[in-house]
Amino acid sequence: MKKELDPRHVFRKGIIQALYSKTFEHTTVPPLSAKQKAICKDIEQQQEEINTIIDTYATTFDHTKMAKVDYAILQQGVYELLFTDKPEPYKVVIDEAVELAKEYGSDSSSKLVNGILAKAYSDHATSEK
Answer whether residue 77 is part of any domain. yes
Answer whether residue 76 is part of any domain. yes
Taking the mean position of all CA atoms in its chain, how far away is CA 99?
11
Calculate mean pLDDT across residues 4-20: 90
Answer whether residue 82 is part of any domain. yes
Domain count, the chain: 1
Name the H helices within 4-67.
Answer: 7-21, 34-45, 47-57
For 78-115, the DSSP string reads: HHHHHS-SSPPPHHHHHHHHHHHHHHHS-TTHHHHHHH
Calculate mean pLDDT across residues 78-91: 89
- 16/31 Cα distance (integer angstroms): 12
- Write out pLDDT tens, residues 40-50: 999 999 999 99
Answer whether residue 88 is part of any domain. yes
pLDDT at 58 over 80: yes
Question: How much is the mean pLDDT over the chain?
Answer: 91
pLDDT at 87 over 80: no
Q: What CATH number should be reported for the domain holding residue 90?
A: 1.10.940.10
Residue range(s) defining the domain that contains residue 75: 34-127
Answer whether residue 118 is part of any domain. yes
Answer whether residue 109 is part of any domain. yes
Answer whether residue 56 is part of any domain. yes
Calculate mean pLDDT across residues 14-29: 89
